[in-house]
């Protein structure tokens, strides 16, 4: 597609519910990133994929967070047993090459998750 | 650890005023990249500029200009003759080099909300 597409745009979850957030990167982009943006804060790195390999998951805040990209294109960020502190905008970004610095990131519009 | 500080939380100006957004960073890397992104109300982060640590030339793009000074670890962004459409949150970001030498991870500042009033 022309840009990075994320769905749903908004998600309200009851505390304890599991959620799945989807990211469709730009076709052909090798690298995919997830960032978490709390209200009034800058985005914070969660995880990085190069094709289907998850090369860095150091930013995932707990073992309730899980990300996958099984075929090297679409990625899903799953949060189990959601808690109120998980409320944030989850941004996905993709990049043409490995790493991102020579190619730049393209960000999606994000999924705003509200846990009630 | 890397750090990016945007001391200005909110700035409000009247259209046609010039405005400068400050960014100060901390890093131990000798090779790094600095970025500015714009986040309009729609939520996506729009890339504005990337600068590597070896290039201290100032850059101008239309009404936008950037001043990179390694001596003060600053990478400030100026909008000349601001317009209402410039209203957004602006983020400064710094790349981070991991132990393997890859630098794909961005560290963002907290952002500056710019409001341009007609």
Please indicate whether residue B60 or residue B78 has the higher confidence score (pLDDT).
Answer: B78
Burial of A43 (0-12, 13-18, 19+ CB in 10 A): buried
Chains A, B: CB contacts within 8 A come to 61
Shortest CA distance to A56 belongs to which of B91, B49, B106, B46? B106
For residue A43, the distance in angstroms to the closest alpha carbon of chain B comes to 6
B47 neighbors B35 (Cβ within 8 angstroms) = yes
Residue A103: band (very low, low, confident or very high) from pLDDT cuts 50, 70, 90: low
For residue A16, the distance in angstroms to the closest alpha carbon of chain B comes to 26
> Do residue B104 and residue A99 have CB atoms under 8 angstroms apart?
yes
> Do residue B50 and residue A101 have CB atoms under 8 angstroms apart?
yes
For the stretch A6-53, pLDDT in tens is 999 999 999 999 999 999 999 999 999 999 999 999 999 999 999 999
> What is the structure's pLDDT at A1?
55
Place of tokens 């519009």: A109
- For residues B17-21, give the mean pLDDT: 98
Nearest chain A alpha carbon to B95 = A101
């Amino acid at each position: 597609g022309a840009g990075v597409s994320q769905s749903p745009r908004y998600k309200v979850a009851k505390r304890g519910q599991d959620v799945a957030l989807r990211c469709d990167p730009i076709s052909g982009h090798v690298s995919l990133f997830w960032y978490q943006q709390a209200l009034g804060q800058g985005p914070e790195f969660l995880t990085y994929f190069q094709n289907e390999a998850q090369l860095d998951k150091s930013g995932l805040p707990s073992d309730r967070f899980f990300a996958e990209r099984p075929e090297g294109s679409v990625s899903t960020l799953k949060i189990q047993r959601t808690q109120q502190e998980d409320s944030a905008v989850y941004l996905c970004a993709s990049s043409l090459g490995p790493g991102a610095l020579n190619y730049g990131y393209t960000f999606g519009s994000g999924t705003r998750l509200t846990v009630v | 650890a890397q750090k990016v500080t945007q001391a200005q939380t909110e700035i409000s100006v009247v259209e046609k005023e010039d405005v400068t957004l400050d960014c100060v960073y901390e890093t131990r890397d000798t090779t790094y990249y600095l970025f500015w992104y714009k986040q309009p109300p729609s939520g996506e982060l729009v890339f504005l500029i990337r600068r590597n640590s070896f290039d201290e030339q100032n850059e101008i793009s239309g009404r936008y200009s950037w001043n990179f000074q390694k001596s003060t670890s600053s990478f400030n962004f100026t909008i000349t003759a601001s317009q209402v459409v410039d209203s957004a949150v602006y983020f400064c970001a710094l790349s981070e080099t991991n132990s393997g030498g890859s630098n794909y991870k961005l560290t963002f500042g907290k952002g500056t909300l710019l409001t341009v009033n007609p």
